[in-house]
Amino acid sequence: MPVSVVIGAQWGDEGKGKVVDLLAPSMDIVARYQGGANAGHTIKWGDETFVLHLIPSGIFHEGTACVIGNGVVIDPKALMDEIRQIEALGYPVAGRLKISHNAHLIMPYHKALDEAKERWRDAEAIGTTGRGIGPAYVDKFARSGIRVVDLLDRDGLRKKLTAAIEEKNDILSAIYGSERLDVDAIVDEYVEFDQQIDPYVTDTSAFLNDALAEGKSILAEGAQGALLDVDHGTYPYVTSSHPTSGGACTGLGIPPTAIDRIIGIVKAYSTRVGNGPFPTELEDETGERLRAEGHEFGATTGRPRRCGWLDLVALNYTSRLNGFTELAVTKLDVMSGLPELKVCTAYEIDGKTTERFPTDLRTLDRARPVYETLPGFSGDLSEARDIADLPDAARDYLQFVSDRLKVPITVIGTGPKREETLVAS
């Protein structure tokens, strides 16, 4: 069966964009299934760098079609901007991009609510990207969302949008003390999206299932990471969707039986942006060094990412949740030069050692990492053309991770560029 899924195995920013871009030439279709413009997927080639937020990371390969599935929440303004930027670079989007008619839209009031609620949470703020993701999914599940298909009916849209803005204005002003939004200005602006978005709108579930029937290959591109999953992540410090492999089926309208390859993307160390538990976080020189060497600043918000050692307790958990059939380990080069490498293999909680990831926050907050220490390696890994060219200690580190997770490593990142990647033969 020809569906592969790429999933962030940690808290996002593992290098999914780079791996999807690498695999895209061998795929007929690349499809995003959840999240929205909270994602920032970086692709680097030659002297070019592009950060994709909504459009799948297959867009720079002209033979690959791209799909934004029903599970994604779409900010029409962000989408049209991104399309224009990609076309300005000389890559055609029209005719190659298909957007689900059932995907929900992010409206200005979702962003205003995201911002207001974060302010209201104060010390308990999640540290969201401010892209309106949570409030848009709330409306979807409350069955009061506005979908892509609604954009194609101007009169209907005017009515729905006016009612929605009036309701949200009451919430914004009465509960959060925020300014009311201008109903007419928003309605006038958004009814104009019909002509711009119409050429892309498709029943993408039917499109994908037809493609499967023709034996075509599909790569489902996850956004965020498994530990940010709304059900299985470090709730409430999560995003509002399902980045995990099950989300690919509901977010695209394809059956689970169509999936035969689940690639977990693992950064060689750990990062997290935003608030919430992070047992292996390093608030010392090593953490600073990882941030500086790894350029660990958010691709969407520019915020510094929190950095720490690799956490195999968390990774065993996300491997189990997703059913990883293989792993891509990125940013191995960033660890070069560290005298020793620590890997968390267990947690100590209230004096007891466990290898099981606690899924309730109060327990997780008390978890202290238990480390095993491996020798460090040095040198410029981006020069390696084959896994055999890597320093012995780098290969030993990868072997240790693969053995403990019981999943083979098939891709290794040795630098940010497309060509700085080693693929197991």
Torsion of CA 42, 44, 48, 54, to 10 degrees: -30
Between 71 and 415, CB nearer to ligand GDP: 415
Q: How far is the CB of 297 from ligand GDP (least distance, A)?
A: 9
Q: How far is CA 85 from CA 38, 116, 142, 342, in A?
A: 18, 30, 34, 41
- Cα atoms found within 13 Å of the Cα of residue 298, Cβ hemisphere only: 21
Q: How far is the CB of 268 from ligand GDP (least distance, A)?
A: 8
The binder of 100, among ligand IMO, Mg ion, ligand GDP, none, by C-beta within 5 to 8 A per type, is none
Distance between CA 15 and CA 36 in Å, rounded?
Answer: 17
Single residue of 4, 34, 38, 421 touching ligand IMO by CB under 6 A: 38
Residue nearest to ligand IMO (CB): 274
Q: How far is the CB of 18 from ligand GDP (least distance, A)?
A: 4
DSSP state of 297: B
299 lies in the site for Mg ion, by CB under 5 A: yes
- Buried/exposed 47-60: b ≥16 CB within 10 Å, e otherwise: eeebbbbbbbbbbb
Residues 5-24 within binding reach of ligand IMO (CB under 6 A): 8, 11-13
Between 274 and 287, CB nearer to ligand IMO: 274
Going by their DSSP bridges, the two strands 368-375 and 340-349 should be labelled as: antiparallel
Q: How far is the CB of 42 from ligand IMO (least distance, A)?
A: 8
Total residues in contact with Mg ion, by rule CB under 5 A: 3
Single residue of 40, 76, 246, 251 touching ligand IMO by CB under 6 A: 40
Residues 129-148 within binding reach of ligand IMO (CB under 6 A): 129, 131, 133-134
318 lies in the site for ligand IMO, by CB under 6 A: no
Q: How far is CA 4 from CA 124, 260, 262, 328, in A?
A: 37, 6, 6, 13
Q: How far is the CB of 241 from ligand IMO (least distance, A)?
A: 8
Between 159 and 295, CB nearer to ligand GDP: 295
Footprint of ligand GDP on this chain (CB under 6 A)? 8, 12-18, 40-42, 44, 295, 299, 330-331, 333-334, 413-416
Q: Following DSSP, what letter does each residue of 49-76 receive, concatenated?
A: EEEESSS-TTTTSTT-EEEE-TTSEE-H
Whether residue 139 lies in the annotated active site: no
Residues 3-42 within binding reach of Mg ion (CB under 5 A): 13, 40
Most distant CA atoms of the chain, gap in Å:
66
Whether residue 403 lies in the annotated active site: no
Q: Output the six-digit token pair for 140.
A: 């979807």
Q: Following DSSP, what letter does each residue of 76-127 receive, concatenated?
A: HHHHHHHHHHHHHTT---TTTEEEETTPEEP-HHHHHHHHHHHHHHGGG---
Do 281 and 307 form a contact (C-beta atoms < 8 A)?
Answer: yes
The set of catalytic residues is 13, 41
**For binding to Mg ion (CB under 5 A), which residues are involved?**
13, 40, 299
**For binding to ligand IMO (CB under 6 A), which residues are involved?**
8, 11-13, 38-41, 126-129, 131, 133-134, 223-225, 228, 239-240, 273-274, 299
